[in-house]
Each structure stands twice: as C-alpha cells, then as structure tokens.
Homo-oligomer: A and B are copies of this chain.
Amino acid sequence: MTTSHPALAGFPVITPMPVHWGEMDAYGHVNNTVFFRYFETARIAFLDRCGFLAAYDSDQIGAILHSTDCRFRLPLFYPDDVLVGARTVDVSDDRFTMGYRIVSLAQDGVAADGTGIVVAYDYRMNQKVPLPAAVRAGVLALRGDMER
C-alpha cells in the first residue's frame, strides 16, 4: 500500500489502514465514530514515536486525551485504504495539540481533518504534570515540515 500522499506533506507520522466493510453504518458510509478510531491509531503511533509510551513504562507519566474534534470532508466507503497523518500543532507546559488528517486513496482526497489535545498525567501522584523533557523534545521534533 502507498504510504505517502501530497496532502500529507507536513505530517511526519503516517499510518496506513484499510477500511473494514463493517465500519460503514446504515447511511452506507464509514460511521463518524470510526474517524476517531483512525485518529486514535495515528495518535498511538505518534505517542510511540515521540517517546510518550516509553515514559509511561519508566515513570508512570502517561498521556490523557483532553479533547478532540473532527471536520468531515468526504464520506468514506469500503473498499478503500486510508492514510492517517499526525503531527504536532502546538506545545505548552503540560500539554500539546496534535493535528490529524485522513486521506482516502480511492478518492485521492482529504476525508477529514482533526485535532486532539493530550495532557501529561502522573499516575503515581494522580495529578497533571509538565511534559517530561524527553517527551517534549520528541513532540517538538514531530511538528512537521509545514510548521518548521
């Protein structure tokens, strides 16, 4: 499967995935909740790449999804393969904002754009904490070409 597309030029993390037939709902297109599943898969790949999953394993400092949104641009259908891009949009002390983009290969176009805010949380102390330095560096490195 292709793993790049011009519409994802600014996205350093790209995750390909096929559309499952059963992800379509009674309107005959992929259900809106599935777009957030695709975002989530891209988010996990991103958290792995920026070192956040490793931070949880070593320090029990994990990522909490604070909020997320999606702007639907094209309906998706089976069969198709989509590419889901993820990149850093904004970073502050205890959180950062990710940008997501879903590209349909069958339609050769952007199916959705979205964002998600991820907050650092210390599961031993049960409180929000600043992003660990290594994670922060990793997140900054994934801002993507368009942001640099």
Contacts and interface: CB of A to CB of B under 8 A. Distances in A.
Interface of A: 1, 16-18, 20-22, 24-26, 28, 31-34, 36-37, 40-41, 44, 64-72, 78
Nearest to A65: B32
A22 B65 CA distance: 13
Nearest to A64: B72
A21 B33 contact: no
Contacts of A17: 17-18, 20
Contacts of A37: 20, 22, 33
B69 A68 contact: yes
B21 A26 contact: yes
Given A68-B70, A69-B70, A70-B69, A21 B44 contact: yes
